Structure formats: C-alpha cells, structure tokens
Amino acid sequence: MKKISIYLVEDYFLARISYRYALEKFEEIELIGDFESADECICAMEKRQADVVLMDLGLENMNGIEATKIIKEKYPNTKVVILTSHENDSEVRASIASGASCYALKDIKIETLVEVIKAASFGAHWYDPQIEKVPFSSIPKPESYEFDKLYPDREKIKKVLTPRELEVLELLVDGKSNVEIADEISISAHTAKAHVGAILDKLNVDDRVQAAVKAVRSQLF
C-alpha cells in the first residue's frame, strides 16, 4: 500500500518534534519533511510534492492562509490540512476559501488527525467539531417548502450567468483555485480568472467566498 506523504509546517519547535514523533508511528503515512516556515515548505515542494501538507496559521513572514493559497495554485493535487489553535471565524473561512481541505484544532487526538489526513488524501473535507458551524453558518432556511420555490434566486442566477460561468461557479463552490478550475475544464488559468471576475461582477459580490455563499444560499448545485 502506498504511503501518504506529508509535510508539516509548525513554527513552535517542541510542537514540531512532538507531531513528528507521533506521526512516525503510523505505517500508512510518511512524514517526508517538517518546517518552521511556510517558505521552506514551498521550496521543498519544488523538489518533491507531498500528498498532504499539515499547515499552521500563525507563522512568521508568510501566514498559513497565504501559504495554502500558493500551494493550491502551484500544486493543485496536494491537499492542505490546517492544524492550528486559531478559531476566529474569518480565519476559518479564509483558510477554506484559499483551498484548505480540512481544518483541525491542535487539541485533536493524533489518531483522529491521521484519519483526517487519510480522508484529505482521498479528496474529502473535514472540519473540527469546535468550528464546523462556521463553514455552514451562511446556509439559510428555504423561503418555501415547495420543491420549485425553495430558493427563488436560483433561477435568476441561471439566467444571468452563461453555461461556462455556471460551470466555473460550481467549481468555485467546491473550493477550487483558478489553476484547478483551468485543469478541470481544460482552459488556461488566465481564462479561468476572467470567468471568475465576470461571475463576481454579475452576482454583484466582492470575492470568491461571497459568490460561493450566494450559490449555496440559492441551492444552485
């Protein structure tokens, strides 16, 4: 069975040693590098890509949110699992919007963390029970309980967006970066970026997260 390769980014030395020691006990995963900074991890990715990156948020120079965005744009097949003590709602949302597959808090049991790593490697998403309300807090109640009137904005959005833009919006809702969107539908990253910009304009929103929320609220997909 192929092991899941992992990079660990954690600026606190004792925590980094502790995670390294604990993770090395599990045969199904392979810790191939641990780093004090996100810059070091990104440099290492140029030589050898990991299946999963365990990423802290509060780092020097480049924080974990920015690092997640860069890793997902350059290496879309690598999954990022946030491992942090930060519970701020904005930081949770920004991490997910930047491409993080999972968000775990540092009091997580090591056995559970390994299961999260395994799930992430297969493309699953997981959020710590202490913060899981955050990603789903923007989903509203339906305006009606009739199937064709649950979210009336859905039809309006379908009319204003082109079929290609709807396709891009669905991938955006899935947390895909511009590079991942481009790969998924066989277009250039520049074209993907242009489609995202058009979607933001037509939906009258400021960023990707707001566009995704609007799509989710409308039960578009």
| CATH number for position 127 | 3.40.50.2300
**pLDDT attached to residue 208:** 87
**Edge to edge, what strands does the sheet with 102-105 contain?**
29-35, 4-9, 52-55, 79-84, 102-105, 126-127
Given 105, 136, 167, the domain boundary residue is 136
**pLDDT attached to residue 216:** 80
Q: Do both 83 and 120 map to the same domain?
A: yes
Q: How many domains does the chain have?
A: 2
**Whole-Å CA distances, 63 to 43, 95, 97, 164:** 15, 10, 15, 34
Which among 78, 94, 75 is positioned nearest to 86, based on CA atoms? 94
95: domain range? 4-136
In angstroms, the CA 80 to CA 125 distance is 10
**pLDDT attached to residue 139:** 64
**pLDDT attached to residue 140:** 64
**pLDDT attached to residue 77:** 94
Bridge partner list, 5: 30
Q: Do both 38 and 125 map to the same domain?
A: yes
Q: Let me know if residue 156 belongs to a domain.
A: yes
Residue type, 154: R
**pLDDT attached to residue 27:** 93
H-assigned helices in 75-148: 89-97, 110-121, 133-136
Q: What is the pLDDT of residues 89-146, one digit of tens each?
A: 889 989 998 999 999 999 999 999 999 999 999 999 999 999 988 877 766 667 677 7
**pLDDT attached to residue 10:** 96
Q: Do both 179 and 152 map to the same domain?
A: yes
Is residue 52 within 8 A of residue 4, CB to CB? The reply is: yes
Q: Do both 115 and 159 map to the same domain?
A: no
Kindly give the parts of the chain with pLDDT less than 50.
Answer: none
Given 95, 110, 136, the domain boundary residue is 136
